[in-house]
Amino acid sequence: MAQDLTGGPGRRATPHPGRAARSSPHRHRSGAADPSHGTESGDPLTSGRKATASGPGSSERKMTPMRIRTLVLVTAATAILTGCTGKSESGGGDGATPRAGGTLTFATDTDPGCLDPHQSPAAAALLTGRGVVDSLVAQDPRTGDVVPWLAESWKTDERATTYTFTLRGDATFSDGAPVDGAAVKANLDRIVAPATKSLLAAGFLAGYAGTTVTADRTVEVRFSQPNAGFLQAATTAFLGIQSPGSFAAGPAATCRKIVGSGPFTVSDYVPQQRVTLARRTGYRWAPRTAAHQGDAFLEKVVLTIAPDNGVRSGSLRSRQVDAAGNVTPRDAVALGEAGFDVHRREQAGIAYSLFINGAKAPWTDAALRQAVAHAVDRAQVVKTLYQDQYARATSVLTPTTPGYRASETTTSAAEAKRLLDAAGWRAGSDGIRAKDGQRLTLRWTYVSPAREQRDLLAQLVQQQLRAVGVEVLLDPAPAGDVIRRQTTGDWQMGDISFLRADADVLRTVLQSSAGGRPPIVNDPTLAAALAEGAGTLDPEVRKTSYAQAQQRIAEQALAIPVYNPTYLLATGDQVRAATFDAQGLPQFYDTWLDH
Amino acid sequence: MSWIRRGDRGGIRSTMVRRRLFSAVTVLIGVVTVAFAVVHLIPGDPVQTMLGAGGAFVDPAQEAALRHELRLDGPLHEQYFAFLASAAQGDFGTSFQTGEPVTQMIAEAAPASLSLAGAALLLGALIGTGIAVLSRLTNSRLLASALAVLPVLAMSLPAYWVAALLLQFFSFRLGLVPALGGTGIRGLVLPALTMSLPTAGVVAQVLASGLRAAERESYVLMARAKGATRSRVVLRHMLRNTALPVITLTGTTVGSLLGAAVVTETIFGRPGLGRLIISALNAHDYPVIQGVAAVLGATMILISLLVDVLFTYLDPRVISTAVWR
């Protein structure tokens, strides 16, 4: 259910049925949907509701690279429509004009720790930082297209080693400094500087050879090796352009306060408690993916940090906050029933998937891995653990990731047993299969404490695999330990999900043997396909190579996708245009309050 | 007692404090050493964890640069002595996560924790004393047995459950207090109440048994013989004489209070040392973990010292034994 929530006022792009923005099956307010003060209509909710959805994975998806087309998003409606009580939305509510003003209180689960996305790898830093810093380019949450933002145009060479950006020139930072070529250079140079201690952003600049300011408004970014992923990475706040004037105070100072050219400024940050964003006046350079131009509607956004799930949903229920982020599937169902709006957005990137270390016998045999893939009943997992609020994965990439292509393995215990029988593994007295005196076991090392009930998921999968005669030994370990084992290759079964709106994520997470780490997935055919995709910006080549890669992963059971991690946002009915950015996180620029 | 002159008493007290402070330094060095050892025993490497948390885009040069930047590339004993030397000057280094000085982070988080712990202690002492006194004064058997069960309940209820219950009722249903981000007294009530319960339980139990035992004391008989009312006997005479063990115990519950703070601060979304150390642990932020551990250790030492000094005022007999130490 590729939920896309970009419906809003004056959106330029044509609305399509997939934009099932409001997904609460029990929404009480009727006819008062997202604001649309522009000419384009299409209440995303209504259109979403009316959409006849095809089942995930059932439809032929037409795609161009960097773009997810309508059909994929149509699947969005499926899970949403399931359980719809039939309360129809009458009228589009298109007449609602966004109103400026008011404070949005938003309960979020994680303290960013450091607000600076150049330094911090946390999604929490993106949530707070996106409204404060603009990027060179923007990514359309609906299509995955890269569009102009601070840069009005750009060009690259064939090998994706040189990027030339022409800046729009009229943008300024909130401290008054202009967003010029020198500022862009200062930002990129700063990200790779060791003193910045960048934990993620620097990784996007792999092979960075420098930036040259060729004219006041033109910069040339050079890489010593092809870096096709850079353009998409440049759309994220991780590579957002901050005011160079703020760098002088050192990285610790920007952890507390970032200064950008965005529609909001950081007015207050109390660690572990709240981040307050204040509207900046005179903002005139929103990307065209935004629903409106000009200043933000909200005067203030107060992000209150509430790590406890029950407290976030309880605070929303008792109207102490306007919105609660990252609510659990169970809370989402309950809040939906209580009349709150629940918005879903599948995160782009690698779906939550299981990985079996193919370098270790007997799991070098693809047939054994395929047997496991057939035995894992994903539909049962999402139904039992996630109340169908998350969709079952249909590929190693989630449908919101540009380059996604459905490549599902059917769930069939019979097929799993057949494969295991054929490979010579026979069930012993306790039901566990063995061959030559060796039991068929998998030691599953996963991070504890687990999020999204992944510990329970492990137990469920353990039962499912036991039913076909595979023994799973659960091995919960602290995050540091899990990472250490991955780094040394000392693991047999693991799980990963990864947020990034670019198919190149497959290479960087599963393949890259940087740091001397053995790749999570070691397969020359896959490596070739991924290298081809990473070495070019040609949409057709990328499309083909990533389709091949996903096909290969499914065929060889190099990954066993389980579910699509989904951001669940619940809001009171006064909150309008609660939409998501391409990374799948709530944005605040277009949001407004209807009191 | 009377054979120690007033001036001597002050001298003995300051000698005692001096001796205790000296041993406190040794204990503190032990505490920071253990903290240093423990953080290095946590499975996983901080550099790999920090970079791995963000993704697998780690290139060896980046990893080495970060390791150097965090001063984690030297031998362990060098790291230890460097740490000890700067810790002695009150410098615990800078956070791996934010680059801020650890002392500054602690100074920011500590007031919230202190006010919470202080309020919880006060509330716990009040509730506990109330329960104990009431159980002595009441004539109702039913109430007396209920009051006997209450402390056990208060001590055994897990903080997260109490917090959820209090929030559900007082905040979500009645809307009396904010659930999140409450500053000032209103925001302090529920978290302080959550944390006060174990203290209240301990105080109530110890005080109640003390009061029960005091019934047979001669001074109680004397007071009664002089015609004092029951409440006057309990409040004026018995309470003061049975308060001593309670003070010691209250001091020792500070440690468990800090443990409960981790849960309470998380649920109520309050800043504080508990939250600080949890996020530091998750991120392998060595300097912060060490700094907070050292500060907590120092706090415990200070509190036990305070309790001892307080004793010398409440019970002059302590001074007399101190002479022979």
Q: What is the pLDDT of residues B76-93, one digit of tens each?
A: 888 888 888 888 888 888
Which pLDDT score is estimated for A517?
A: 62
Q: B216: which DSSP letter?
A: T
Residue A319, by phi and psi: left (phi above 0), alpha (psi -120 to 50) or beta? Answer: left
Mean pLDDT of A292-321: 94
Pairing of β A349-356 and β A493-499:
antiparallel
Q: Catalogue the long-range contacts made by B58-65 (C-beta closer than 8 Å, 24 or more residues apart).
A: B58/A203, B58/A514, B58/A515, B58/A517, B59/A203, B59/A206, B59/A514, B59/A515, B60/A514, B60/A515, B60/A516, B62/A202, B62/A203, B63/A515, B65/A194
Which pLDDT score is estimated for A63?
A: 36
Angle (nearest 5°) at CA B119 between B114 and B124:
125
Using a CB-CB distance cutoff of 8 angstroms, which residues of chain A are in contact with residue B105? Answer: 271
Mean pLDDT of A525-530: 91
Selected residues 74-133 of chain A with any CB under 8 Å from a CB in chain B: 107, 111, 113-114, 119-121
Which pLDDT score is estimated for B38?
A: 85
Q: Which of A305, A498, A515 sits opposite B59 (nearest CB)?
A: A515
Asked if B217 contacts B241 with a C-beta cutoff of 8 angstroms, the reply is yes
pLDDT band at A396 (very low <50, low <70, confident <90, very high): very high
Mean pLDDT of A72-101: 44
Q: How many CB pairs under 8 A join A and B?
A: 172
Residue B324 has pLDDT above 50, yes or no: no
Across A2-11, A234-243, A524-533, B81-90, which has the greatest mean pLDDT?
A234-243
Residue A432 has pLDDT above 90, yes or no: yes
Residue A120 has pLDDT above 70, yes or no: yes
Residue A293, by phi and psi: left (phi above 0), alpha (psi -120 to 50) or beta? Answer: beta
Whether chain A has a CB inside 8 Å of the CB on B50: the answer is yes
Query: B155 or A404: whose pLDDT is higher?
Result: A404
Which pLDDT score is estimated for B59?
A: 65
Mean pLDDT of B193-208: 90
What percentage of chain B's residues is helix, strand, coil (to nearest 5)?
80, 0, 20
Query: A496 or A416: whose pLDDT is higher?
Result: A416
Q: Which of B52, B99, B282 sits opposite A255 (nearest CB)?
A: B99
pLDDT band at A57 (very low <50, low <70, confident <90, very high): very low
Q: Is A350 helix (H, G, I), strand (E, B) or coil?
A: strand
Q: What is the mean pLDDT of chain A?
A: 82
Residue A368 has pLDDT above 60, yes or no: yes
Which pLDDT score is estimated for A12?
A: 30
- Residue corresponding to tokens 């013989």: B225
Which pLDDT score is estimated for A468?
A: 95
Which pLDDT score is estimated for A442?
A: 95
Mean pLDDT of B202-225: 87
Distance CA A360, CA A443 (A): 12
Which pLDDT score is estimated for B6?
A: 58
Angle between helices B273-282 and B102-137 (to 10 degrees): 130
Mean pLDDT of A85-111: 68
Asked if A20 contacts A80 with a C-beta cutoff of 8 angstroms, the reply is yes
Selected residues 137-176 of chain B with any CB under 8 Å from a CB in chain A: 164, 167-168, 171-173, 175
Tally helices (H) and strands (E) across chain B: 14, 0
Selected residues 150-169 of chain A with any CB under 8 Å from a CB in chain B: none
Using a CB-CB distance cutoff of 8 angstroms, which residues of chain A are in contact with residue B69? Answer: 194-195, 197
Q: Which of the residues A110, A191, A225, A311 would you substitute to probe the B interface, choosing the one with the greatest number of B C-beta atoms within 10 Å?
A: A311
Residue A439 has pLDDT above 70, yes or no: yes
Chain centroid to CA B47: 32
Distance CA A371, CA A400 (A): 28
Asked if B236 contacts B132 with a C-beta cutoff of 8 angstroms, the reply is no
Please, which residues have CB within 8 angstroms of residue A55's CB and are 6 or more apart in sequence?
A75, A78
Whether chain B has a CB inside 8 Å of the CB on A251: the answer is yes
Which pLDDT score is estimated for A279?
A: 97
Encoding tokens for residue A461?
């999968």
Asked if A108 contacts A50 with a C-beta cutoff of 8 angstroms, the reply is no
Lowest mean pLDDT among A509-518, B68-77, B201-210: A509-518
Angle (nearest 5°) at CA B229 between B224 and B233:
65
- Chain A residue with Cα closest to B105: A271
Distances (CA, A) of B226 to A516, B222, B301: 87, 6, 44
Angle between helices A479-488 and B46-54 (to 10 degrees): 90
Residue-wise pLDDT for A313-334, tens only, equals 999 999 999 999 999 999 999 9
Query: B275 or A371: whose pLDDT is higher?
Result: A371
Residue A88 has pLDDT above 60, yes or no: no
Query: A260 or B14: whose pLDDT is higher?
Result: A260
Q: Shortest CA distance to A562 belongs to which of A494, A504, A472?
A: A494
Query: A46 or B200: whose pLDDT is higher?
Result: B200
Distance CA A446, CA A485 (A): 11
Distance CA A453, CA A107 (A): 21
Q: Which of A273, A483, A509 sits opposite B49 (nearest CB)?
A: A483
Query: DSSP letters of B190-210?
Result: HHHHHHHHHHHHHHHHHHHHH
> How many other CB atoms are there within 10 angstroms of residue A302's CB atom?
20
- Residue corresponding to tokens 């919880």: B120
Give the helix/strand (H/E) hosting B212: helix B184-214
With the C-alpha atoms ordered A383, A384, A389, A394, is the resulting torsion angle positive or negative? Answer: negative
Distance CA A451, CA A386 (A): 12
Which pLDDT score is estimated for B196?
A: 92
Pairing of β A438-439 and β A433-435:
antiparallel
Burial A171-194 (b: 16+ CB within 10 A, else e): bbbbeebbbbbebbbbbbbbbbee
Q: Which of the residues A105, A227, A308 would you substitute to probe the B interface, choosing the one with the greatest number of B C-beta atoms within 10 Å?
A: A308
Please, which residues have CB within 8 angstroms of residue A262's CB and are 6 or more apart in sequence?
A130, A131, A132, A133, A134, A174, A240, A280, A283, A589
Lowest mean pLDDT among A176-180, A521-525, B17-21: B17-21
pLDDT band at A383 (very low <50, low <70, confident <90, very high): very high
Determine what percent of chain A is predicted with pLDDT higher than 90.
62
Angle (nearest 5°) at CA B16 between B11 and B17:
100
Residue-wise pLDDT for A228-269, tens only, equals 889 999 999 999 999 999 999 999 999 999 999 999 999 999
Task: State the distance between the two ends of chain A, measured CA to CA, in whole angstroms.
Answer: 31
Residue B159 has pLDDT above 80, yes or no: yes
- Alpha carbon dihedral A27, A28, A30, A36, in 10-degree steps, equals -50
Burial B261-292 (b: 16+ CB within 10 A, else e): bbbbbbbbbbbbbbbbbbbbbbbbbbbbbbbb
Which pLDDT score is estimated for B4?
A: 55
Asked if A6 contacts A141 with a C-beta cutoff of 8 angstroms, the reply is yes
Which pLDDT score is estimated for A27?
A: 35
Q: List the A493-499 sheet strands across, edge first.
A: A471-477, A441-447, A493-499, A349-356, A560-563
Query: Distance from A197 to chain B by nearest Cα, in Å?
Result: 6
Distances (CA, A) of A55 to A3, A77, A478, A535: 14, 9, 37, 34
Kindly determine whether residue A483 and residue B57, on different chains, have CB atoms separated by under 8 Å.
no
Distance CA A75, CA A59 (A): 9
Distances (CA, A) of A507 to A258, A522, A562: 31, 11, 19
Please, which residues have CB within 8 angstroms of residue B96's CB and are 6 or more apart in sequence?
A197, B46, B50, B70, B283, B284, B285, B286, B287, B288
pLDDT band at B310 (very low <50, low <70, confident <90, very high): confident
Distance CA A547, CA B110 (A): 54
**Residue A436 corresponds to which amino acid?**
D
Determine what percent of chain B is predicted with pLDDT higher than 90.
12
Asked if A283 contacts A295 with a C-beta cutoff of 8 angstroms, the reply is yes
Kindly determine whether residue A315 and residue B62, on different chains, have CB atoms separated by under 8 Å.
no
Q: What is the mean pLDDT of chain B?
A: 83
pLDDT band at A516 (very low <50, low <70, confident <90, very high): low
Which pLDDT score is estimated for B212?
A: 86
Q: Is A43 helix (H, G, I), strand (E, B) or coil?
A: coil
Residue A464 has pLDDT above 70, yes or no: yes
Q: A62: which DSSP letter?
A: P
Beta bridge partners of A427: A433
pLDDT band at A519 (very low <50, low <70, confident <90, very high): confident
Q: Is B176 helix (H, G, I), strand (E, B) or coil?
A: coil
Angle between helices B184-214 and B239-267 (to 10 degrees): 150
Query: B197 or A74: whose pLDDT is higher?
Result: B197
Chain centroid to CA B211: 26
Which pLDDT score is estimated for B35?
A: 85
Please, which residues have CB within 8 angstroms of residue B180's CB and are 6 or more apart in sequence?
A107, A304, A306, A311, A315, A320, A321, B268, B269
Using a CB-CB distance cutoff of 8 angstroms, which residues of chain A are in contact with residue B179? Answer: 306, 311, 314-315, 318, 320
Lowest mean pLDDT among A357-366, A475-484, B102-111: A475-484
pLDDT band at A346 (very low <50, low <70, confident <90, very high): very high
Residue-wise pLDDT for A122-146, tens only, equals 889 999 999 999 999 999 998 888 9
Query: B18 or A381: whose pLDDT is higher?
Result: A381
Q: Catalogue the long-range contacts made by B87-92 (C-beta closer than 8 Å, 24 or more residues apart).
A: B87/B32, B87/B290, B87/B294, B92/B287, B92/B288, B92/B290, B92/B291, B92/B294
pLDDT band at B250 (very low <50, low <70, confident <90, very high): confident
> How many other CB atoms are there within 10 angstroms of residue A97's CB atom?
12
Query: Distance from A351 to chain B by nearest Cα, in Å?
Result: 14
Angle (nearest 5°) at CA B37 between A251 and A445:
80
Distance CA A426, CA A420 (A): 8
Distance CA A339, CA A24 (A): 8
Asked if B165 contacts B87 with a C-beta cutoff of 8 angstroms, the reply is no
Kindly determine whether residue B57 and residue A486, on different chains, have CB atoms separated by under 8 Å.
no
